[in-house]
Amino acid sequence: MPGRIEPAERRSTPRTEVLGRVSLSVLSAPVSVRLREISTGGCALETVTPFPPGVHHFRLEMDGREALEVSAELVHSTRLSMPGGEGIYLAGFEFVPQGEPASQALASLIAHIGALCLA
């Protein structure tokens, strides 16, 4: 449709699929999640229940790398129907601006994930 902007086109940074290589823990809410995609601007998570609105705190962990804590704001949540009638929620987050060391550590982690996906 002319003039329509697809969600991927609105992102200021491209997302990288993590393919189960990164563990994400929610520090601010008792929510079980699966990290789907990540970029220096944000990430996409799967949950079985709706994610609470607001800013949340996360810990990213990957074998052989130091854990990284980041904050991000929920910008959208969509319920997706799955076979069998069950559903999951896809939640999109935008990272809150961080200090330079944390921003560099996040960029390094994402570059490392991208390199592994190309290998």
Domain locations along the chain: 11-118
Residue 67 scores a pLDDT above 70: yes
Mean pLDDT for the chain? Answer: 81
| DSSP secondary structure letters along the chain | -TTPPPHHHH-SS--EE-TT-SEEEESSS---EEEEEE-SSEEEEEESSPPPSSEEEEEEE-TTS--EEEEEEEEEEEEEE-TTS-EEEEEEEEEPP--HHHHHHHHHHHHHHHHHHH-
Residue 44 and residue 36 in contact, taking contact as beta carbons nearer than 8 Å: yes
Measured CA to CA, the distance from residue 16 to residue 102 in angstroms comes to: 18
Kindly report the CATH number that applies to the domain delimited by 11-118.
2.40.10.220
pLDDT tens digits, residue range 2-46?
443 444 445 455 555 665 678 889 998 888 898 988 888 999 999
Q: Note the pLDDT of residue 8.
A: 47
pTM: 0.78
Residue 93 scores a pLDDT above 90: yes
Averaged pLDDT, 60-84 = 88
Measured CA to CA, the distance from residue 97 to residue 69 in angstroms comes to: 12
Residue 74 scores a pLDDT above 70: yes
